[in-house]
Chain A
Amino acid sequence: MSVLVYVEQVDGKFKKSVFEAVSYAKAIADIQGSSLTAISIGNVGEAELKELGKYGASKVLNVSNDQLKNFVNQAYASVIAEAAKKENAAVVVLSNSFSGKGLAPRVAVKLEAGLVDGAVELPKLDGGQFLVKKTAFSGKAFAITELTSAIKVIALNPNAFGVKESAVEATVEAFSPEIKATDFTAIVKEIVRATNKVSLPDAELVVSAGRGLKGPENWGMIEELANLLGAATACSKPVSDADWRPHSEHVGQTGIAISPNLYIAIGISGAIQHLAGVSSSKVIVVINIDPEAPFFKVADYGIVGDAFVVVPKLIEALKAHKG
Protein backbone atom coordinates (compact mmCIF):
# COMPACT_ATOMS: atom_id res chain seq x y z
CA MET A 1 0.00 0.00 0.00
CA SER A 2 1.21 3.50 -0.76
CA VAL A 3 0.20 7.08 -1.40
CA LEU A 4 0.54 8.43 -4.94
CA VAL A 5 0.82 12.14 -5.73
CA TYR A 6 0.52 13.60 -9.22
CA VAL A 7 3.11 16.33 -9.78
CA GLU A 8 1.98 18.78 -12.43
CA GLN A 9 4.79 20.38 -14.43
CA VAL A 10 4.81 23.63 -16.36
CA ASP A 11 7.54 23.75 -19.01
CA GLY A 12 9.53 21.08 -17.17
CA LYS A 13 9.36 22.82 -13.78
CA PHE A 14 7.32 22.23 -10.62
CA LYS A 15 5.52 25.09 -8.94
CA LYS A 16 4.98 25.68 -5.24
CA SER A 17 1.53 24.07 -5.37
CA VAL A 18 3.22 20.80 -6.39
CA PHE A 19 5.56 20.86 -3.39
CA GLU A 20 2.50 21.58 -1.28
CA ALA A 21 0.65 18.56 -2.71
CA VAL A 22 3.74 16.38 -2.12
CA SER A 23 4.04 17.67 1.49
CA TYR A 24 0.35 16.88 2.05
CA ALA A 25 0.63 13.42 0.49
CA LYS A 26 3.72 12.68 2.62
CA ALA A 27 1.76 13.59 5.77
CA ILE A 28 -0.99 11.11 4.70
CA ALA A 29 1.65 8.43 4.03
CA ASP A 30 3.05 9.04 7.53
CA ILE A 31 -0.43 8.70 9.09
CA GLN A 32 -0.94 5.41 7.24
CA GLY A 33 2.60 4.17 7.78
CA SER A 34 3.14 3.82 4.04
CA SER A 35 5.50 5.25 1.44
CA LEU A 36 5.00 8.12 -1.00
CA THR A 37 5.41 7.83 -4.77
CA ALA A 38 5.12 10.76 -7.17
CA ILE A 39 4.03 10.47 -10.79
CA SER A 40 5.38 13.04 -13.24
CA ILE A 41 4.12 13.27 -16.83
CA GLY A 42 5.92 15.28 -19.51
CA ASN A 43 9.54 16.16 -20.03
CA VAL A 44 11.07 16.96 -16.65
CA GLY A 45 14.80 16.76 -15.91
CA GLU A 46 16.31 14.34 -13.36
CA ALA A 47 17.42 17.13 -10.99
CA GLU A 48 13.93 18.64 -10.87
CA LEU A 49 12.40 15.19 -10.24
CA LYS A 50 14.88 14.48 -7.42
CA GLU A 51 13.82 17.78 -5.82
CA LEU A 52 10.56 16.02 -4.84
CA GLY A 53 12.54 13.98 -2.31
CA LYS A 54 12.97 17.11 -0.25
CA TYR A 55 9.23 17.01 0.50
CA GLY A 56 8.99 13.28 1.17
CA ALA A 57 8.62 11.45 -2.16
CA SER A 58 10.87 8.38 -1.96
CA LYS A 59 10.07 7.22 -5.50
CA VAL A 60 9.29 9.25 -8.61
CA LEU A 61 7.68 7.58 -11.62
CA ASN A 62 8.75 9.53 -14.66
CA VAL A 63 6.67 9.34 -17.84
CA SER A 64 8.70 11.09 -20.50
CA ASN A 65 6.90 10.78 -23.78
CA ASP A 66 6.48 13.35 -26.56
CA GLN A 67 2.86 12.34 -27.05
CA LEU A 68 2.24 13.42 -23.46
CA LYS A 69 4.21 16.66 -23.70
CA ASN A 70 0.99 18.71 -23.47
CA PHE A 71 -1.75 18.11 -20.95
CA VAL A 72 -4.50 15.90 -22.36
CA ASN A 73 -7.07 15.12 -19.72
CA GLN A 74 -8.03 11.61 -20.82
CA ALA A 75 -4.50 10.40 -21.47
CA TYR A 76 -3.08 11.86 -18.25
CA ALA A 77 -5.92 10.34 -16.23
CA SER A 78 -5.17 6.91 -17.75
CA VAL A 79 -1.48 7.24 -16.83
CA ILE A 80 -2.21 8.30 -13.24
CA ALA A 81 -4.76 5.49 -12.76
CA GLU A 82 -2.29 2.93 -14.12
CA ALA A 83 0.42 4.26 -11.81
CA ALA A 84 -1.98 4.03 -8.86
CA LYS A 85 -2.65 0.37 -9.66
CA LYS A 86 1.06 -0.38 -10.15
CA GLU A 87 1.90 1.21 -6.79
CA ASN A 88 -1.08 -0.36 -5.04
CA ALA A 89 -2.02 3.16 -3.95
CA ALA A 90 -4.66 3.53 -1.24
CA VAL A 91 -4.75 7.31 -1.64
CA VAL A 92 -4.12 9.45 -4.73
CA VAL A 93 -3.41 13.17 -4.20
CA LEU A 94 -3.60 15.94 -6.82
CA SER A 95 -3.55 19.73 -6.68
CA ASN A 96 -7.02 21.26 -7.08
CA SER A 97 -5.61 23.33 -9.95
CA PHE A 98 -7.28 23.99 -13.31
CA SER A 99 -5.78 20.75 -14.65
CA GLY A 100 -6.30 18.88 -11.39
CA LYS A 101 -10.00 19.72 -11.44
CA GLY A 102 -10.29 18.05 -14.83
CA LEU A 103 -8.09 15.09 -13.94
CA ALA A 104 -9.11 14.04 -10.44
CA PRO A 105 -12.72 13.09 -11.35
CA ARG A 106 -11.58 10.93 -14.29
CA VAL A 107 -8.95 9.22 -12.14
CA ALA A 108 -11.60 8.63 -9.45
CA VAL A 109 -14.02 6.97 -11.90
CA LYS A 110 -11.24 4.81 -13.37
CA LEU A 111 -10.32 3.61 -9.87
CA GLU A 112 -13.95 3.47 -8.62
CA ALA A 113 -12.68 5.79 -5.92
CA GLY A 114 -14.45 8.38 -3.84
CA LEU A 115 -13.16 11.89 -4.49
CA VAL A 116 -12.93 14.98 -2.30
CA ASP A 117 -11.93 18.09 -4.21
CA GLY A 118 -11.19 21.40 -2.53
CA ALA A 119 -9.68 19.62 0.50
CA VAL A 120 -8.37 22.01 3.15
CA GLU A 121 -7.03 19.68 5.85
CA LEU A 122 -5.38 16.32 6.31
CA PRO A 123 -7.84 13.40 6.41
CA LYS A 124 -8.97 12.27 9.84
CA LEU A 125 -9.10 8.55 10.44
CA ASP A 126 -11.84 8.32 13.02
CA GLY A 127 -12.94 4.85 14.19
CA GLY A 128 -12.38 3.33 10.77
CA GLN A 129 -13.85 6.34 8.97
CA PHE A 130 -11.80 8.34 6.44
CA LEU A 131 -12.98 11.94 6.75
CA VAL A 132 -11.81 14.88 4.64
CA LYS A 133 -12.74 18.52 5.24
CA LYS A 134 -13.47 20.53 2.12
CA THR A 135 -14.77 23.98 1.30
CA ALA A 136 -18.48 24.26 0.55
CA PHE A 137 -20.94 27.03 -0.24
CA SER A 138 -18.08 29.07 -1.70
CA GLY A 139 -16.21 29.42 1.57
CA LYS A 140 -19.29 30.08 3.69
CA ALA A 141 -18.96 26.56 5.15
CA PHE A 142 -16.99 23.32 5.17
CA ALA A 143 -18.30 19.84 4.39
CA ILE A 144 -16.68 16.95 6.25
CA THR A 145 -16.93 14.12 3.76
CA GLU A 146 -16.46 10.43 4.35
CA LEU A 147 -14.90 8.31 1.62
CA THR A 148 -15.80 4.62 1.84
CA SER A 149 -14.20 3.27 -1.35
CA ALA A 150 -11.08 1.09 -1.23
CA ILE A 151 -9.04 3.80 -3.00
CA LYS A 152 -9.48 7.48 -2.14
CA VAL A 153 -8.71 10.50 -4.32
CA ILE A 154 -8.08 13.93 -2.80
CA ALA A 155 -7.58 17.22 -4.69
CA LEU A 156 -5.92 19.73 -2.34
CA ASN A 157 -6.81 23.42 -2.43
CA PRO A 158 -3.85 25.76 -3.05
CA ASN A 159 -2.38 27.39 0.09
CA ALA A 160 -4.44 25.09 2.35
CA PHE A 161 -1.60 22.97 3.78
CA GLY A 162 1.65 24.78 3.07
CA VAL A 163 5.00 23.42 1.94
CA LYS A 164 6.70 21.21 4.53
CA GLU A 165 10.15 19.76 4.05
CA SER A 166 10.66 16.10 4.94
CA ALA A 167 13.85 15.13 3.15
CA VAL A 168 14.35 11.63 1.78
CA GLU A 169 16.42 10.34 -1.12
CA ALA A 170 14.14 10.12 -4.16
CA THR A 171 14.78 7.40 -6.71
CA VAL A 172 13.61 8.18 -10.23
CA GLU A 173 12.12 5.30 -12.19
CA ALA A 174 11.08 5.43 -15.85
CA PHE A 175 7.43 4.47 -16.27
CA SER A 176 5.99 3.50 -19.65
CA PRO A 177 2.25 3.08 -19.31
CA GLU A 178 0.00 1.80 -22.04
CA ILE A 179 -1.15 4.76 -24.15
CA LYS A 180 -4.41 4.43 -26.08
CA ALA A 181 -4.92 6.40 -29.30
CA THR A 182 -8.54 7.04 -28.27
CA ASP A 183 -7.27 9.08 -25.31
CA PHE A 184 -6.12 11.78 -27.73
CA THR A 185 -9.40 12.93 -29.33
CA ALA A 186 -8.97 16.40 -27.87
CA ILE A 187 -5.93 18.06 -29.42
CA VAL A 188 -4.07 21.00 -27.92
CA LYS A 189 -3.58 23.58 -30.67
CA GLU A 190 -2.03 26.46 -28.79
CA ILE A 191 -0.85 27.42 -25.32
CA VAL A 192 -0.62 31.07 -24.35
CA ARG A 193 1.00 31.68 -20.98
CA ALA A 194 1.60 35.09 -19.46
CA THR A 195 4.95 34.19 -17.93
CA ASN A 196 5.40 37.38 -15.91
CA LYS A 197 2.06 37.16 -14.14
CA VAL A 198 1.37 35.45 -10.82
CA SER A 199 -1.34 32.79 -11.23
CA LEU A 200 -4.40 33.84 -9.24
CA PRO A 201 -5.52 30.50 -7.69
CA ASP A 202 -1.97 29.77 -6.43
CA ALA A 203 -1.10 33.32 -5.38
CA GLU A 204 -0.04 33.91 -1.78
CA LEU A 205 -0.74 37.63 -2.10
CA VAL A 206 -3.62 39.16 -4.06
CA VAL A 207 -4.44 42.80 -4.80
CA SER A 208 -8.04 43.21 -5.90
CA ALA A 209 -10.10 46.19 -6.94
CA GLY A 210 -13.72 47.01 -7.65
CA ARG A 211 -16.04 49.64 -9.02
CA GLY A 212 -14.50 52.23 -6.69
CA LEU A 213 -11.69 52.48 -9.24
CA LYS A 214 -14.18 54.15 -11.61
CA GLY A 215 -12.73 52.77 -14.86
CA PRO A 216 -10.21 50.39 -16.44
CA GLU A 217 -7.79 53.26 -17.09
CA ASN A 218 -7.16 53.51 -13.34
CA TRP A 219 -5.79 49.98 -12.91
CA GLY A 220 -2.17 51.10 -13.36
CA MET A 221 -1.73 51.77 -9.65
CA ILE A 222 -3.33 48.41 -8.76
CA GLU A 223 -0.85 46.62 -11.03
CA GLU A 224 2.03 48.66 -9.63
CA LEU A 225 1.09 47.74 -6.08
CA ALA A 226 0.69 44.06 -7.08
CA ASN A 227 4.07 44.06 -8.86
CA LEU A 228 5.81 45.55 -5.84
CA LEU A 229 4.30 42.86 -3.62
CA GLY A 230 4.78 40.03 -6.12
CA ALA A 231 1.01 39.60 -5.92
CA ALA A 232 -1.65 38.51 -8.42
CA THR A 233 -4.34 40.97 -9.46
CA ALA A 234 -8.05 40.26 -9.07
CA CYS A 235 -11.36 42.08 -9.35
CA SER A 236 -15.00 42.02 -8.31
CA LYS A 237 -17.85 40.74 -10.54
CA PRO A 238 -19.18 44.16 -11.69
CA VAL A 239 -15.68 44.99 -12.92
CA SER A 240 -15.33 41.84 -15.06
CA ASP A 241 -18.97 42.15 -16.22
CA ALA A 242 -18.15 45.68 -17.45
CA ASP A 243 -15.06 44.28 -19.25
CA TRP A 244 -12.72 46.51 -17.27
CA ARG A 245 -10.74 43.37 -16.40
CA PRO A 246 -10.76 39.79 -17.78
CA HIS A 247 -13.19 37.24 -16.36
CA SER A 248 -10.20 35.16 -15.23
CA GLU A 249 -9.54 37.82 -12.54
CA HIS A 250 -13.06 37.70 -11.09
CA VAL A 251 -12.97 36.38 -7.52
CA GLY A 252 -16.05 35.57 -5.49
CA GLN A 253 -18.89 33.07 -5.35
CA THR A 254 -19.40 32.94 -9.09
CA GLY A 255 -15.75 33.58 -9.89
CA ILE A 256 -12.63 31.99 -8.50
CA ALA A 257 -12.59 31.17 -4.79
CA ILE A 258 -9.18 31.97 -3.35
CA SER A 259 -7.41 31.64 -0.02
CA PRO A 260 -4.19 33.66 -0.19
CA ASN A 261 -2.15 34.72 2.82
CA LEU A 262 -3.00 38.36 2.09
CA TYR A 263 -6.01 39.77 0.22
CA ILE A 264 -6.10 43.53 -0.33
CA ALA A 265 -9.54 44.74 -1.46
CA ILE A 266 -9.59 48.26 -2.88
CA GLY A 267 -12.85 50.01 -3.72
CA ILE A 268 -14.90 46.83 -3.18
CA SER A 269 -17.85 47.19 -0.82
CA GLY A 270 -18.03 43.48 0.05
CA ALA A 271 -21.28 42.00 -1.27
CA ILE A 272 -22.10 38.59 0.23
CA GLN A 273 -21.20 36.87 -3.07
CA HIS A 274 -17.77 38.50 -3.16
CA LEU A 275 -17.03 37.74 0.50
CA ALA A 276 -17.98 34.10 -0.06
CA GLY A 277 -15.09 33.61 -2.47
CA VAL A 278 -12.38 35.43 -0.50
CA SER A 279 -13.26 35.08 3.18
CA SER A 280 -10.86 32.18 3.71
CA SER A 281 -7.93 34.52 2.98
CA LYS A 282 -5.64 34.49 6.02
CA VAL A 283 -5.32 38.30 6.28
CA ILE A 284 -7.74 40.76 4.68
CA VAL A 285 -7.00 44.45 4.14
CA VAL A 286 -9.83 46.72 3.00
CA ILE A 287 -9.42 50.20 1.53
CA ASN A 288 -12.76 51.92 0.97
CA ILE A 289 -14.11 55.44 1.08
CA ASP A 290 -17.31 54.25 2.78
CA PRO A 291 -16.77 53.47 6.50
CA GLU A 292 -20.04 51.48 6.43
CA ALA A 293 -18.85 49.13 3.65
CA PRO A 294 -19.70 45.55 4.75
CA PHE A 295 -16.16 44.43 3.86
CA PHE A 296 -14.79 46.16 6.99
CA LYS A 297 -16.73 43.64 9.12
CA VAL A 298 -14.55 40.76 7.90
CA ALA A 299 -11.30 42.70 7.43
CA ASP A 300 -8.26 42.40 9.67
CA TYR A 301 -6.91 45.81 8.71
CA GLY A 302 -8.66 48.72 7.06
CA ILE A 303 -8.18 52.22 5.77
CA VAL A 304 -11.19 54.48 5.31
CA GLY A 305 -10.17 56.71 2.45
CA ASP A 306 -10.20 57.47 -1.25
CA ALA A 307 -8.35 54.78 -3.24
CA PHE A 308 -6.90 57.46 -5.53
CA VAL A 309 -5.20 59.06 -2.52
CA VAL A 310 -4.45 55.99 -0.40
CA VAL A 311 -3.06 53.58 -3.03
CA PRO A 312 -0.30 55.92 -4.33
CA LYS A 313 0.72 56.57 -0.70
CA LEU A 314 0.70 52.85 -0.02
CA ILE A 315 2.96 52.31 -3.03
CA GLU A 316 5.39 54.93 -1.71
CA ALA A 317 5.32 53.40 1.78
CA LEU A 318 5.97 49.95 0.33
CA LYS A 319 8.90 51.23 -1.75
CA ALA A 320 10.35 52.84 1.38
CA HIS A 321 9.84 49.58 3.33
CA LYS A 322 11.61 47.57 0.64
CA GLY A 323 14.45 50.08 0.70
Chain B
Amino acid sequence: MTTTAQTAGRSPVRRLAGTLHRHPRLRLSLLLTAPLLWLAVLYLGSLTVLFVSAFWTTDSFTSEVVKVWSTDNFHALFTTPVFRQVILRSIGVALAVTVLCAVIAFPVAFYTARIAKPRWRPLLVVAILTPLWASYLVKVYAWRLILSQGGLADWMLKPFGMSGPGFGLFAAVIALTYLWLPYMILPIHTALEQLPANLLDASADLGGRPGRTFRSVVLPMVLPSVAAGSVFTFSLSLGDYITVQIVGGKTQLIGNLVYSNIELNLPMAAALGTVPVVVIVLYLLAMRRTGALSSL
Protein backbone atom coordinates (compact mmCIF):
# COMPACT_ATOMS: atom_id res chain seq x y z
CA MET B 1 0.00 0.00 0.00
CA THR B 2 2.71 2.43 0.97
CA THR B 3 4.81 1.43 -2.04
CA THR B 4 1.99 2.15 -4.51
CA ALA B 5 1.38 5.49 -2.88
CA GLN B 6 5.05 6.32 -3.16
CA THR B 7 5.26 5.25 -6.79
CA ALA B 8 2.12 7.19 -7.65
CA GLY B 9 3.46 10.24 -5.90
CA ARG B 10 6.64 10.27 -8.05
CA SER B 11 6.75 12.48 -11.08
CA PRO B 12 7.65 10.88 -14.44
CA VAL B 13 10.89 12.83 -14.46
CA ARG B 14 11.87 11.30 -11.16
CA ARG B 15 10.96 7.84 -12.38
CA LEU B 16 13.10 8.36 -15.48
CA ALA B 17 15.97 9.57 -13.31
CA GLY B 18 15.64 6.43 -11.22
CA THR B 19 15.65 4.19 -14.28
CA LEU B 20 18.73 5.93 -15.63
CA HIS B 21 20.48 5.63 -12.30
CA ARG B 22 19.79 1.91 -12.05
CA HIS B 23 20.90 1.13 -15.61
CA PRO B 24 24.40 2.41 -16.34
CA ARG B 25 24.39 0.57 -19.68
CA LEU B 26 21.30 2.47 -20.79
CA ARG B 27 22.92 5.71 -19.65
CA LEU B 28 26.06 4.90 -21.60
CA SER B 29 24.21 4.02 -24.78
CA LEU B 30 22.20 7.25 -24.57
CA LEU B 31 25.46 9.17 -24.20
CA LEU B 32 27.18 7.46 -27.09
CA THR B 33 24.51 6.98 -29.77
CA ALA B 34 24.60 10.45 -31.31
CA PRO B 35 28.39 11.00 -31.24
CA LEU B 36 29.07 7.53 -32.60
CA LEU B 37 26.60 8.00 -35.43
CA TRP B 38 28.39 11.22 -36.28
CA LEU B 39 32.01 10.10 -35.96
CA ALA B 40 31.83 6.44 -36.87
CA VAL B 41 29.19 6.53 -39.59
CA LEU B 42 29.66 9.96 -41.11
CA TYR B 43 33.37 10.51 -40.64
CA LEU B 44 34.94 7.04 -40.61
CA GLY B 45 32.42 5.99 -43.25
CA SER B 46 33.50 8.79 -45.58
CA LEU B 47 37.16 8.04 -44.95
CA THR B 48 36.62 4.38 -45.75
CA VAL B 49 34.81 5.19 -48.98
CA LEU B 50 37.65 7.57 -49.88
CA PHE B 51 40.35 4.97 -49.33
CA VAL B 52 38.37 2.31 -51.15
CA SER B 53 37.92 4.70 -54.07
CA ALA B 54 41.70 4.95 -54.31
CA PHE B 55 41.47 1.48 -55.88
CA TRP B 56 38.98 2.62 -58.50
CA THR B 57 39.92 4.27 -61.77
CA THR B 58 38.62 6.99 -64.01
CA ASP B 59 37.52 6.65 -67.58
CA SER B 60 39.99 8.88 -69.42
CA PHE B 61 37.34 10.00 -71.94
CA THR B 62 34.32 10.71 -69.79
CA SER B 63 36.05 11.37 -66.41
CA GLU B 64 33.47 9.00 -64.93
CA VAL B 65 34.65 6.90 -61.99
CA VAL B 66 34.92 3.23 -62.90
CA LYS B 67 34.26 1.11 -59.82
CA VAL B 68 36.54 -1.79 -60.70
CA TRP B 69 39.19 -2.84 -58.18
CA SER B 70 42.72 -2.12 -59.39
CA THR B 71 46.01 -0.96 -57.99
CA ASP B 72 46.80 1.21 -61.02
CA ASN B 73 46.73 4.44 -59.01
CA PHE B 74 49.27 3.20 -56.49
CA HIS B 75 51.39 1.83 -59.29
CA ALA B 76 51.33 5.25 -60.94
CA LEU B 77 52.22 6.85 -57.62
CA PHE B 78 55.52 5.01 -57.44
CA THR B 79 56.43 4.98 -61.12
CA THR B 80 55.48 8.49 -62.31
CA PRO B 81 58.54 10.71 -61.80
CA VAL B 82 56.44 13.82 -61.06
CA PHE B 83 54.56 12.10 -58.27
CA ARG B 84 57.75 10.69 -56.77
CA GLN B 85 59.41 14.10 -56.88
CA VAL B 86 56.48 15.85 -55.26
CA ILE B 87 56.15 13.23 -52.53
CA LEU B 88 59.86 13.42 -51.68
CA ARG B 89 59.76 17.22 -51.83
CA SER B 90 56.80 17.30 -49.45
CA ILE B 91 58.53 15.03 -46.96
CA GLY B 92 61.68 17.14 -47.27
CA VAL B 93 59.74 20.35 -46.65
CA ALA B 94 58.02 18.82 -43.62
CA LEU B 95 61.36 17.70 -42.17
CA ALA B 96 63.03 21.04 -42.89
CA VAL B 97 60.16 22.91 -41.21
CA THR B 98 60.38 20.59 -38.21
CA VAL B 99 64.14 21.08 -37.81
CA LEU B 100 63.86 24.87 -38.24
CA CYS B 101 61.04 25.02 -35.70
CA ALA B 102 63.09 23.01 -33.18
CA VAL B 103 66.18 25.18 -33.69
CA ILE B 104 64.26 28.45 -33.28
CA ALA B 105 62.00 27.17 -30.52
CA PHE B 106 64.71 25.88 -28.20
CA PRO B 107 66.36 29.17 -27.19
CA VAL B 108 62.98 30.90 -26.93
CA ALA B 109 61.62 28.14 -24.69
CA PHE B 110 64.83 28.04 -22.67
CA TYR B 111 64.53 31.75 -22.05
CA THR B 112 60.82 31.68 -21.13
CA ALA B 113 61.18 28.62 -18.88
CA ARG B 114 64.54 29.14 -17.18
CA ILE B 115 66.10 32.54 -17.71
CA ALA B 116 63.20 34.96 -17.53
CA LYS B 117 62.09 36.13 -14.09
CA PRO B 118 59.43 33.75 -12.72
CA ARG B 119 56.74 36.41 -12.55
CA TRP B 120 57.20 37.20 -16.24
CA ARG B 121 56.90 33.60 -17.34
CA PRO B 122 53.07 33.28 -17.55
CA LEU B 123 52.99 36.47 -19.59
CA LEU B 124 55.61 35.12 -21.97
CA VAL B 125 53.57 31.94 -22.43
CA VAL B 126 50.61 34.12 -23.40
CA ALA B 127 52.90 35.96 -25.82
CA ILE B 128 53.72 32.63 -27.46
CA LEU B 129 50.09 31.54 -27.49
CA THR B 130 48.55 34.70 -28.94
CA PRO B 131 49.83 34.21 -32.52
CA LEU B 132 48.27 30.73 -32.44
CA TRP B 133 44.93 32.49 -32.46
CA ALA B 134 45.72 34.82 -35.31
CA SER B 135 44.17 33.52 -38.48
CA TYR B 136 46.20 30.98 -40.46
CA LEU B 137 45.53 32.89 -43.68
CA VAL B 138 46.50 36.22 -42.17
CA LYS B 139 49.84 34.81 -41.06
CA VAL B 140 50.58 33.47 -44.52
CA TYR B 141 49.39 36.79 -45.93
CA ALA B 142 51.90 38.55 -43.69
CA TRP B 143 54.67 36.54 -45.34
CA ARG B 144 53.25 37.35 -48.74
CA LEU B 145 53.61 41.03 -47.82
CA ILE B 146 57.14 40.53 -46.51
CA LEU B 147 58.40 38.52 -49.47
CA SER B 148 56.59 40.35 -52.27
CA GLN B 149 58.58 42.49 -54.65
CA GLY B 150 59.72 45.69 -52.88
CA GLY B 151 58.42 44.26 -49.60
CA LEU B 152 60.07 44.24 -46.20
CA ALA B 153 62.55 41.47 -47.08
CA ASP B 154 63.80 43.33 -50.15
CA TRP B 155 64.01 46.58 -48.19
CA MET B 156 66.05 44.99 -45.39
CA LEU B 157 68.47 43.25 -47.73
CA LYS B 158 68.90 46.18 -50.08
CA PRO B 159 71.74 47.81 -48.08
CA PHE B 160 73.69 44.56 -48.50
CA GLY B 161 73.13 44.57 -52.24
CA MET B 162 70.77 41.60 -52.05
CA SER B 163 67.08 41.07 -52.61
CA GLY B 164 64.59 38.89 -50.76
CA PRO B 165 64.00 35.26 -51.69
CA GLY B 166 60.68 36.05 -53.41
CA PHE B 167 57.97 33.40 -53.72
CA GLY B 168 59.05 29.78 -54.06
CA LEU B 169 60.00 26.69 -52.12
CA PHE B 170 62.14 28.64 -49.64
CA ALA B 171 59.30 31.08 -48.96
CA ALA B 172 56.94 28.14 -48.34
CA VAL B 173 59.36 26.63 -45.80
CA ILE B 174 59.70 29.98 -43.99
CA ALA B 175 55.96 30.58 -43.88
CA LEU B 176 55.23 27.04 -42.65
CA THR B 177 57.93 27.33 -39.98
CA TYR B 178 56.36 30.58 -38.83
CA LEU B 179 52.88 29.03 -38.75
CA TRP B 180 53.74 26.00 -36.63
CA LEU B 181 56.48 27.50 -34.41
CA PRO B 182 54.24 27.92 -31.31
CA TYR B 183 53.35 24.21 -31.50
CA MET B 184 57.06 23.51 -30.94
CA ILE B 185 57.82 26.23 -28.37
CA LEU B 186 55.01 25.26 -26.00
CA PRO B 187 55.90 21.60 -25.34
CA ILE B 188 59.60 22.45 -24.99
CA HIS B 189 58.76 25.28 -22.60
CA THR B 190 56.63 22.92 -20.49
CA ALA B 191 59.37 20.28 -20.37
CA LEU B 192 62.09 22.78 -19.45
CA GLU B 193 59.89 24.33 -16.79
CA GLN B 194 59.27 20.95 -15.18
CA LEU B 195 62.95 20.03 -15.21
CA PRO B 196 63.90 19.58 -11.52
CA ALA B 197 66.52 22.14 -10.51
CA ASN B 198 68.27 19.68 -8.19
CA LEU B 199 69.17 17.46 -11.14
CA LEU B 200 71.02 20.40 -12.65
CA ASP B 201 72.68 21.13 -9.31
CA ALA B 202 73.69 17.49 -8.98
CA SER B 203 75.26 17.58 -12.40
CA ALA B 204 77.18 20.73 -11.46
CA ASP B 205 78.27 19.20 -8.13
CA LEU B 206 79.65 16.22 -10.02
CA GLY B 207 81.75 18.60 -12.04
CA GLY B 208 79.58 18.94 -15.13
CA ARG B 209 80.05 22.21 -16.93
CA PRO B 210 76.92 23.86 -18.39
CA GLY B 211 77.62 22.36 -21.82
CA ARG B 212 77.98 18.88 -20.39
CA THR B 213 74.89 19.28 -18.19
CA PHE B 214 72.97 20.42 -21.22
CA ARG B 215 74.00 17.42 -23.29
CA SER B 216 73.70 14.75 -20.61
CA VAL B 217 70.80 15.99 -18.48
CA VAL B 218 68.69 18.66 -20.17
CA LEU B 219 68.61 17.33 -23.71
CA PRO B 220 67.60 13.72 -22.93
CA MET B 221 64.79 14.96 -20.71
CA VAL B 222 63.47 17.49 -23.22
CA LEU B 223 63.79 15.34 -26.33
CA PRO B 224 60.37 13.64 -25.92
CA SER B 225 58.76 17.08 -25.95
CA VAL B 226 60.66 18.07 -29.07
CA ALA B 227 59.36 14.87 -30.62
CA ALA B 228 55.84 15.72 -29.48
CA GLY B 229 56.09 19.17 -31.02
CA SER B 230 57.53 17.68 -34.18
CA VAL B 231 54.40 15.57 -34.63
CA PHE B 232 52.45 18.81 -35.13
CA THR B 233 55.03 20.63 -37.23
CA PHE B 234 55.62 17.59 -39.43
CA SER B 235 52.04 16.51 -40.07
CA LEU B 236 50.68 20.05 -40.46
CA SER B 237 53.40 20.85 -43.02
CA LEU B 238 52.91 17.61 -44.91
CA GLY B 239 49.22 18.18 -45.51
CA ASP B 240 49.40 21.88 -46.30
CA TYR B 241 48.68 23.24 -49.74
CA ILE B 242 47.23 26.70 -49.14
CA THR B 243 50.51 28.22 -47.93
CA VAL B 244 52.27 26.76 -50.94
CA GLN B 245 49.65 28.28 -53.22
CA ILE B 246 50.08 31.69 -51.63
CA VAL B 247 53.86 32.04 -51.26
CA GLY B 248 55.23 28.94 -52.98
CA GLY B 249 55.30 30.29 -56.52
CA LYS B 250 55.18 27.32 -58.87
CA THR B 251 56.18 24.84 -56.16
CA GLN B 252 53.93 21.83 -55.73
CA LEU B 253 53.46 19.64 -52.68
CA ILE B 254 51.28 16.55 -52.17
CA GLY B 255 48.35 18.68 -51.09
CA ASN B 256 48.42 20.66 -54.35
CA LEU B 257 48.47 17.45 -56.39
CA VAL B 258 45.51 16.08 -54.45
CA TYR B 259 43.69 19.37 -54.94
CA SER B 260 44.32 19.53 -58.67
CA ASN B 261 43.21 15.91 -59.15
CA ILE B 262 39.93 16.14 -57.29
CA GLU B 263 37.79 17.41 -60.14
CA LEU B 264 39.32 15.31 -62.88
CA ASN B 265 40.36 12.10 -61.21
CA LEU B 266 38.97 11.50 -57.74
CA PRO B 267 40.42 7.98 -57.39
CA MET B 268 43.91 9.34 -58.13
CA ALA B 269 43.35 12.17 -55.64
CA ALA B 270 42.31 9.58 -53.06
CA ALA B 271 45.42 7.50 -53.74
CA LEU B 272 47.58 10.62 -53.40
CA GLY B 273 45.73 11.47 -50.20
CA THR B 274 46.75 8.16 -48.64
CA VAL B 275 50.42 9.16 -48.96
CA PRO B 276 50.46 11.83 -46.22
CA VAL B 277 48.26 9.63 -44.04
CA VAL B 278 50.66 6.69 -44.33
CA VAL B 279 53.72 8.92 -43.83
CA ILE B 280 52.18 10.54 -40.75
CA VAL B 281 51.25 7.16 -39.27
CA LEU B 282 54.83 5.95 -39.83
CA TYR B 283 56.13 9.15 -38.26
CA LEU B 284 53.85 8.68 -35.26
CA LEU B 285 55.05 5.09 -34.85
CA ALA B 286 58.67 6.26 -34.98
CA MET B 287 57.95 8.99 -32.45
CA ARG B 288 56.18 6.57 -30.14
CA ARG B 289 59.53 4.93 -29.47
CA THR B 290 60.81 8.18 -28.00
CA GLY B 291 57.88 8.32 -25.60
CA ALA B 292 56.66 11.49 -27.26
CA LEU B 293 53.06 10.47 -27.63
CA SER B 294 52.44 10.16 -23.92
CA SER B 295 53.52 13.76 -23.49
CA LEU B 296 51.26 15.06 -26.27
State yes or no: do A and B come from one complex. no
Chain B residues with a Cβ under 8 A of chain A: none
A residues neighboring B (CB under 8 Å): none
